[in-house]
Structure 1
Amino acid sequence: MADTAQYLTLGIDQELFGIDIRNVREILDMRPISKLPHAPNFLLGMIDVRGAGYPIVDLRTKLGLVRAEPTEATRIIILDVPVKGRTLGVGFVADRVFEVTGLDDDQTEAAPDVGGRWQSNYIAGIGRKGESFIVVFDLERLMETDDLPAFAGAPAEEAA
Structure 2
Amino acid sequence: MAETTQYLTLGLDGETFGIGIRNVREILDMRPISKLPHAPNFLLGMIDVRGSSYPIVDLRIKLDLPSVPATEATRIIILDVPMGDQFVGVGFVADCVFEVTGIDESQIEPPPTVGGRWKSDYLAGIGKKGENFVIIFDLAKLMTTGGVVPGAPVEAEAA
Indicate whether the TM-score tops 0.5.
yes
Between stretches 114-123 and 134-143, larger displacement belongs to: 114-123
Q: Secondary structure at the match of 2:106?
A: helix
Q: Distance in 1 between matches of 2:32 and 2:134?
A: 29
- The answer (yes or no) to whether the contact 1:7–1:103 under 8 Å persists in 2 is yes
Q: Distance in 2 between matches of 1:42 and 1:83?
A: 18
C-alpha deviations, 1:65-110, integer Å up to 9, x for none?
0111000000000000011222100000000100000001122111
Q: Distance in 1 between matches of 2:38 and 2:117?
A: 27
Q: CA deviation at 1:117?
A: 1.1
One-letter amino acid of the counterpart of residue 42, structure 1: F
Q: Distance in 1 between matches of 2:82 and 2:129?
A: 26
RMSD across aligned positions (CA): 1.2
- 2:140 maps to 140
Between stretches 127-136 and 107-116, larger displacement belongs to: 107-116
In structure 1, the gaps of 5 or more residues are 151-160
- 2:129 maps to 129
Large movers: runs of 4+ above 4 Å: none
- 2:153 maps to none
One-letter amino acid of the counterpart of residue 40, structure 2: P
One-letter amino acid of the counterpart of residue 120, structure 2: S
Q: Distance in 2 between matches of 1:66 and 1:44?
A: 15
- 2:110 maps to 110
- 1:33 maps to 33
- 1:95 maps to 95
Q: CA deviation at 1:133?
A: 0.1
In structure 2, the gaps of 5 or more residues are 149-156
User: How many residues of Structure 1 are paired with residues of Structure 2 in the alignment?
Assistant: 148
Identity, in percent, stands at 71
Q: Scaled by the length of structure 1, what TM-score is found?
A: 0.90
Q: Scaled by the length of structure 2, what TM-score is found?
A: 0.91
- The answer (yes or no) to whether the contact 1:84–1:144 under 8 Å persists in 2 is no
Q: Distance in 2 between matches of 1:65 and 1:113?
A: 20
- 1:75 maps to 75
